[in-house]
Each structure stands twice: as structure tokens, then as C-alpha cells.
């Protein structure tokens, strides 16, 4: 398996080219401020019942350094975490959060530059009265996430790379990155135009006029 840190060198768009739409979270889960640092690492998965954030608060003491805590929240009406929880997670080496829900204390989290991707911000905190799950399969942003899947997230979106496909995706994405770097825009335009025209012809397009 590749070192998860290597995936920080690859954009979600490049990874998505190798994976397809079904591995990309929906666009409602986004970076919470401009130019947020790219987030990449193995998923530590959490599910929380509606209105309750206990399991996320437990996860920050259990996830390994470098992990991305991925949360299936029960709703978007109560904050899953705030400034102190994010600060503790950051101090413990957690790479960041991806939350299918909301957080609070955005100014504190942004100032600390702790990467959080979520559906938004809500000042009301969740309660701590119910159990959910830790490090089991969840659904976040419409995508199934298993413990150890690689998460790559930045302003372009969030991609989930299944553990069994990490080596293949890394190889395909790195090849694409190298090809793009070696090709001038003029070369790309020539190849792109030829490809588009060939596709039009294959589909029977007849230019008018």
C-alpha cells in the first residue's frame, strides 16, 4: 500500500478521473474557507445520531495521527464540533475532518488552519447522550466510506479511494499528472480538438452552414 501522505500531491480531480463519480462526495460538503489546505489521509469513520456529537468527541482520542475523521452526522441542525475539539484533534496529529453535517467556532478553526470540510456552520452544539459507531462503514456525502479508505479533499471536492484500489489509483493519477506536466497547452489543444472532431464524426454529427 502507498503511504497515504503521497496522495496529498494529487488533486481530487486527478483522482476522480481514475475512479468515477460514485467515489466523489456530493458538492454540499465543502471547504469552510478559501484556500483551505488540501486534506489527505486514511479515514477514521464515525456515525452520530441526530443532534448528538458524542462519538466524534470520542474519536479524536482514538484516531491515529494522520487520520482524516469522516463523520456521518444525523442532521445539519446541531454542531458536531467547535474550536476546542478541532484544536485537540490538531494537537493530536489528526489531519482534518470531513463532516456530513455542521460545525461551529469557524473563526477559531480557520485561524488554526485545521482543515474541515462540512455542510456549513451552526452555533448550537449537539448533545452527548447517544451512542453511534466508530471505525465502521458509514455513508458520507452519498459515498460509502470504510475505515482505511483514503480521503483526498480540497476546494475541487472530496474523493474517497477504497483501500483495495489505492495502488492502482495512485499509479493512474500519477501517470496523468506526469503526462499533463510534460504537455504544452498547444499540444493539448491539438490532441483535444482531434479527439472532439473524431467523436462528433463517430456520432454522425453534420455541421450546418
Q: Which domain holds residue 82?
A: 4-171
59 assigned to some structural domain: yes
154 assigned to some structural domain: yes
13 assigned to some structural domain: yes
pLDDT for 201 beyond 60: yes
Which tens digit of pLDDT belongs to each residue from 149-197? Answer: 999 999 999 999 999 999 899 888 888 888 878 888 888 888 888 989 8
Number of domains in the chain: 1
Tell me the whole-structure pTM to 2 decimals. Answer: 0.88
159 assigned to some structural domain: yes
Give CA angle at 9 (6, 12), nearest 5°.
110
Residues in the chain: 209
If you compute the radius of gyration of the chain from its CA atoms, what whole number of angstroms results? 20
Can you read off the three cell numbers belonging to residue 77? 441542525
204 assigned to some structural domain: no
Give the closest residue to 115 by CA, choosing from 85, 95, 144, 141: 95
Query: How is the chain split among helix, strand and coil, in percent rounded to 5?
Result: 35, 25, 40
End-to-end Cα distance, the chain: 56
139 assigned to some structural domain: yes
Amino acid at each position: 500500500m502507498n503511504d497515504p501522505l503521497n496522495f496529498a500531491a494529487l488533486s481530487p480531480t486527478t483522482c476522480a478521473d481514475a475512479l468515477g463519480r460514485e467515489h466523489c462526495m456530493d458538492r454540499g460538503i465543502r471547504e469552510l474557507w478559501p484556500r483551505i489546505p488540501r486534506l489527505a489521509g486514511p479515514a477514521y469513520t464515525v456515525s452520530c445520531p441526530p443532534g448528538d456529537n458524542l462519538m466524534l468527541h470520542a474519536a479524536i482520542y482514538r484516531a491515529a495521527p494522520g487520520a482524516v475523521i469522516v463523520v456521518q452526522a444525523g442532521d445539519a441542525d446541531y454542531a458536531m464540533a467547535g474550536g476546542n475539539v478541532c484544536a485537540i484533534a490538531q494537537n493530536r496529529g489528526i489531519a482534518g475532518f470531513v463532516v456530513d453535517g455542521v460545525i461551529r467556532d469557524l473563526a477559531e478553526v480557520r485561524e488554526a488552519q485545521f482543515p474541515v470540510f462540512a455542510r456549513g456552520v451552526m452555533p448550537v452544539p449537539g448533545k452527548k447522550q447517544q451512542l453511534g459507531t466508530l471505525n465502521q462503514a458509514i455513508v458520507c456525502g452519498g459515498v460509502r466510506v470504510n475505515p482505511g479508505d483514503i480521503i483526498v479533499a480540497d476546494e475541487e471536492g472530496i474523493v474517497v479511494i477504497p483501500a483495495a484500489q489505492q495502488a492502482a489509483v495512485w499509479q493512474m493519477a500519477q501517470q496523468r499528472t506526469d503526462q499533463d506536466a510534460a504537455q504544452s497547452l498547444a499540444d493539448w489543444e491539438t490532441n483535444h480538438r482531434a479527439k472532439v472532431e473524431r467523436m462528433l464524426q463517430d456520432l454522425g454529427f453534420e455541421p450546418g452552414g
